[in-house]
Structure 1
Amino acid sequence: MLGQGWTTSDSDEAAEKLRDLFDTHERSVFFGGAGVSTASGIPDFRSADGLYSQRFAYPPETMLSHSFYEAHPADFFAFYRERMIALDAQPNQCHRKLAELERSGKLDAVVTQNIDGLHQAAGSRCVWELHGSVHRNICQRCGTVYSAGQMVSRELEDEEGIPRCPACGGRIKPDVVLYEEPLDQDVIEGAVRAIASADVLVVGGTSLVVYPAAGLLQYFQGDTLVIVNRDPTPQDARADVLISCDIAQAFAF
């Protein structure tokens, strides 16, 4: 790779550059984070007005941990239901453009750290969800899968506010990767294959500080690494193209 050689904070210039990259590369992959969904009304985590800057009874990182889920399930589900599920959110320009690029054969895959399912809602089909999805909630005893809508409606909750499977009484756990839990090995392997085979990797809407997800960039061996993020990231010096503007506007082409 060439190292950082082209930068802009102008959304029109960014859109033109991205259009050219997708038009001139045969194997393209998008790697995205929470910033992809902010234009859909879903707050990110680490910005000034993000989830981690808000005040709760416990720090959000604690409430989203496996140990908290086990020790304080009622508090976990109250936070999860209120803060992690956004059923009214709709795909924004970035989601829609990525789906369009896939349909036209210009994008091979999306690798996402998000759990909101908006890439699939926009029409993307090859999506590697590193941290799972709020739309899958699985009984830990019998494996029955329940929807996000059922979790929000509270129709499955017992008297303590913990969702239980009507069929067997088992606790229903969101199919999301909590702190202290490993990523799904099949998902990791699929994401690594996609990234390793790409000749252009567009990284967008992520601070690149959450591991092991951010570590997947090491598998990229193509010729053009693009980073699209409003704020600086630890990987900016590696980028061949560095875009610092709103990601939805950058994908308005």
Structure 2
Amino acid sequence: MKVNTLAEWIQQSQNVVFFGGAGTSTESGIPDFRSAAGLYQSEEKLPYSPEVMLSRSFFVKHPEVFYDFYRSKMLHPDAEPNGCHHFLASLEKQGRLKAVVTQNIDGLHQAAGSVNVLELHGSVHRNHCMECGRFYSLDEVMNSSEVVPKCPIDGGIIKPDVVLYEEELNQDTIIQSVQAISQADLLLIGGTSLTVHPAAGLITYFRGKHTVLLNTDPTSYDHKADLLITDPIGKVMEKLAHQLGL
């Protein structure tokens, strides 16, 4: 069985790194972007495409429309970590998992107990005034009485620390991610279409022993993986946790 093979490889590894995307959180009730049931495939009539509304220029020009879409589609405050998040947190506590490199912005890895989480696309849990830089929590953004939350000190617009289209990824996060992936002896890739760059390109820095791809849909990287598992990632990780006693 493939899960048995993966369990053996994990037991043989001392430096595991997980690289994940939106599919990691679908079992927590958060829709992904590009699958058949994803956000970008929605039949709901929108004033603009999601890609346009999630761009920097659109945020600057139309903050009201941005926030309406952002609050209704991008924020899931009641979502709970699933088997994938819990397994990775347990593997980190055991000392085998050295880093989680994620494209997700939901904070579920941290909610499950993971500490070394490298968030390539930022987080909905961090928000700052564009004028003074003051920090605001997700609760403050969600519960603001204004459509566009403003800083009470200087009236500046509060922007989520989420990497929008047209914005660059944080260079420190990229450097740390490259370092973690290049030093790993086992790379687990899960819940990602591997089509979003530059994030997806980071896996090319892996020089270790085995690459495992856990994804329900095919990717362009399937033929390069040493092990391919297409079952839901949360269920797979629950089985792994049971086998490894985590």
TM-score, structure 2 as length reference: 0.94
Shift of 1:67: 1.1
2:53 to 42, 57, 63: 63
Shift of 1:223: 1.3
**SS of structure 1 residue aligned to 2:188:** strand
Match of 1:130 in 2: 120
Quick check: 2:2–2:227 contact (8 Å CA) kept in 1? no
Shift of residue 47, structure 1, vs aligned partner: 0.9
Tell me by how many angstroms 1:216 deviates: 0.3
Superimposed CA distance per residue, residues 100-127 of structure 1 (whole angstroms, 9 cap, x where no aligned partner): 0000011000000000000000000000
Out of 90, 99, 106, which is 1:116 matched to?
106
Runs of 5+ consecutive residues of structure 1 not aligned to the other structure: 1-12
2:211 paired with 1:221: no
For residue 141 of structure 1, the aligned residue among 114, 121, 131 is 131
**4+ residue stretches of structure 1 with deviation over 3 A?**
none
Please give the alpha-carbon distance, in whole angstroms, between the structure 1 residues aligned to 2:37 and 2:136.
31
Partner of 1:34: 22
| Alpha-carbon distance between aligned partners in 2 of 1:200 and 1:74, rounded to the nearest angstrom | 44
Deviation string for 1:170-200 (max 9, x for gaps)? 1100000001100000010111110010011
Equivalent residue for 2:177? 191
Partner of 1:84: 74
Q: Is the 8 A contact 2:184 2:206 kept in 1?
A: yes
1-side partners of 2:218 and 2:104: how far apart? 20
Whether 1:49 and 2:37 are equivalent positions in the alignment is: yes
Question: What is the rounded CA distance, in whole Å, between the counterparts of 1:92 and 1:202 in structure 2?
Answer: 17
What letter corresponds to residue 54 of structure 2 in structure 1?
A: L
Structure 1 residue 17 displacement after superposition:
2.7
What is the Cα deviation at residue 154 of structure 1?
A: 2.2
Cα RMSD over matched residues? 0.9
Aligned-pair identity in percent equals 55
- Give structure 2 stretches of 5+ with no counterpart: 241-246
User: C-alpha deviations, 1:179-236, integer Å up to 9, x for none?
Assistant: 1100000010111110010011000000000000000011111111110000110111
CA displacement, residues 80-137 of structure 1 (integer Å, 9 cap, x when unaligned): 1111111000000000000000000110000000000000000000000000000001
TM-score (norm 1): 0.92
Between 1 and 2, higher relative CO (CA 8 Å, sep ≥ 6) is seen in: 1
1:3 paired residue number: none
